[in-house]
Amino acid sequence: MSIRNLDDLLAEGVSGRRVLVRADLNVPLDKQTGEITDDGRIRAVLPTLGALVQAGAKVVVCSHLGRPKGEPAPQFSLRPVAGRLGELLGAPVHFATDTVGDSARSTVEGLADGQVALLENLRFNKGETSKDEAERGAFADQLAAFGEAYVDDAFGAVHRKHASVYDVPARLPHAAGRLVLREVEVLSKLTGEPERPYVVVLGGSKVSDKLAVIEALLPKVDRLLIGGGMCFTFLKAQGHEVGTSLLEEEMVETCGNLLERSAGKIMLPVDVVAADAFAPDAAHDTVRADGIPSHRLGLDIGPETVAGFAAALSQAKTIFWNGPMGVFEMAAFANGTRGVAEAITKADAFSVVGGGDSAAAVRALGLDESSFGHISTGGGASLEYLEGKTLPGIAALEN
């Protein structure tokens, strides 16, 4: 891969120059307090930001957080992230209360050499995620005006054809940041000939995104274990009642076809923890996967499933895991994720965990991060990378 990296940019000299950095600061926030519950993605960009600060650049950081719909929504503000980033950098981060408006302009203009600014959430602007090239391009023009060079360190978003990821690098001298380079280096080990058996575990809640990846991944893997919010569309395809569980109705047929063509590679839950409501104190029971009561929703995989998944994982030589097995943020529904994560750490295999929430789960459950081969900041991004797809954010850096 011939992409310019941060060192090439630093070698040219960035002192006094404005460098626009696309980061993935999409961190989990506590729904009640709004506090950051895991700062792993902020820590992950510190090597790039630190190097630019030290080199005397005026660093303008931009990111998305959550999935606001193209207009400001206070619960998705990056303000708490600016505070935490400042603590970690050991210097205040200047926060712009808009992304490309008056506040952003004056914040960027006011930066001294070696100072850092963070713009408000990119997705407060329709142009960021627009499918219309002209609308995206117009927003990219506004963003690009804040930098004399562009660095992409948002590995978790490189699979998105969004203005800040895809269109801005076409407008500025560009380079890949340290995190993007490291992620690509490690994940490329899984795209060649991974040592077999190669077992992939999928869960989480971004069901439609990830169902699309399964088709491409199936021929490459020996076993595909499916839990989390992902599994109910498959259980439905098998003709089972899934109650009010997360369901992608229009994908039921696709899942049925995948099961038929999977040659027995796909393992689904045999039992699930079904609850009365999506709440930490909801009444819940372990039920058979083919017997979820119609008024209940599955919030975790059950103990028999964990044992079956653990047995498959114990045979593996290469493991990739994306997506929690249940709503691990609530103690009552964290056992499946804990059980699978522990089984991965015990396996004599090269293991990669990908995804903002999966990585957060590893830390929240107090597991030893060093017992995984690699913890990736990107879930969807790493899955699409493993699929062998050309990712828009990487392609844009190659040009």
Ligand X SMILES: Nc1ncnc2c1ncn2[C@@H]1O[C@H](COP(=O)(O)OP(=O)(O)O)[C@@H](O)[C@H]1O
Ligand Y SMILES: O=C(OP(=O)(O)O)[C@H](O)COP(=O)(O)O
| CA 111 to mean position of chain CA atoms | 30
Phi-psi domain of 132 (left: phi exceeds 0; alpha: psi -120 through 50; beta: other) = beta
CB distance 323 to 355 below 8 Å = yes
- Residue 26 partner contact from ligand X, ligand Y, none using kind-dependent CB cut-offs of 5 to 8 Å: ligand Y
Closest contact distance (angstroms) between CB of 362 and ligand X is: 10
Closest by Cα among 272, 269, 342 to 300: 272
Instruction: Report whether 348 belongs to an annotated binding site.
Output: no
Q: What b/e readout covers 293-303, taking b as 16+ CB neighbours within 10 angstroms? A: eeebbbbbbbe
Instruction: Report whether 228 belongs to an annotated binding site.
Output: no
- Residue with smaller CB distance to ligand X, 68 or 324: 324
Instruction: Report whether 66 belongs to an annotated binding site.
Output: yes
Using CB under 6 A as the binding rule, whether residue 392 contacts ligand Y is answered as no
- Residue with smaller CB distance to ligand X, 141 or 209: 209
Closest contact distance (angstroms) between CB of 86 and ligand Y is: 21
- Residue with smaller CB distance to ligand Y, 129 or 262: 129
Closest contact distance (angstroms) between CB of 55 and ligand X is: 32
Region from 114-122, 192-200, 215-223, 353-361 binding ligand Y, contact rule CB under 6 A: 353-361
Using CB under 6 A as the binding rule, whether residue 242 contacts ligand Y is answered as no
CA distances from 344 to 30, 186, 278, 363 (A): 27, 18, 27, 14
- Residue 298 partner contact from ligand Y, ligand X, none using kind-dependent CB cut-offs of 5 to 8 Å: ligand X
- Residue 284 partner contact from ligand X, ligand Y, none using kind-dependent CB cut-offs of 5 to 8 Å: none
Closest contact distance (angstroms) between CB of 318 and ligand X is: 19
**Residues 6-25, interacting with ligand Y (CB under 6 A):** 24
Residues paired with 318 in a beta bridge: 198, 350
Instruction: Report whether 34 belongs to an annotated binding site.
Output: no
User: To which residue do tokens 């280096």 refer?
Assistant: 185
For ligand Y, which residue of 378, 385, 386, 393 counts as binding (CB under 6 A)? 378
- Residue with smaller CB distance to ligand Y, 17 or 159: 159
Region from 167-175, 252-260, 301-309, 372-380 binding ligand Y, contact rule CB under 6 A: 372-380
| CA 113 to mean position of chain CA atoms | 32
For ligand Y, which residue of 356, 367, 385, 397 counts as binding (CB under 6 A)? 356
Instruction: Report whether 338 belongs to an annotated binding site.
Output: no
What three-state secondary structure class fits 285? Answer: strand
**Residues contacting 266, CB < 8 A, separation 6+:** 218, 224, 226, 234, 258, 259
Measured distance CA(222)–CA(213) in Å, rounded = 15
For ligand Y, which residue of 380, 385, 386, 392 counts as binding (CB under 6 A)? 380
Where does this chain bind ligand X (CB under 6 A)? 203-206, 228-229, 246, 298-299, 322-324, 326-327, 329, 355-358, 379
Pattern 153-192, ligand Y, x by CB under 6 A: ---xx--x--------------------------------
- Residue 157 partner contact from ligand X, ligand Y, none using kind-dependent CB cut-offs of 5 to 8 Å: ligand Y
| CA 296 to mean position of chain CA atoms | 28
**Residues 55-74, interacting with ligand Y (CB under 6 A):** 67
CB distance 38 to 80 below 8 Å = no
Q: At what angle do helices 335-346 and 356-364 cross, to 10 degrees?
A: 90
CB distance 397 to 169 below 8 Å = yes
Neighbours of 100 (CB within 10 A): 23
Q: Residues interacting with ligand Y, by CB under 6 A? A: 24, 26, 67, 156-157, 160, 206, 355-357, 378-380
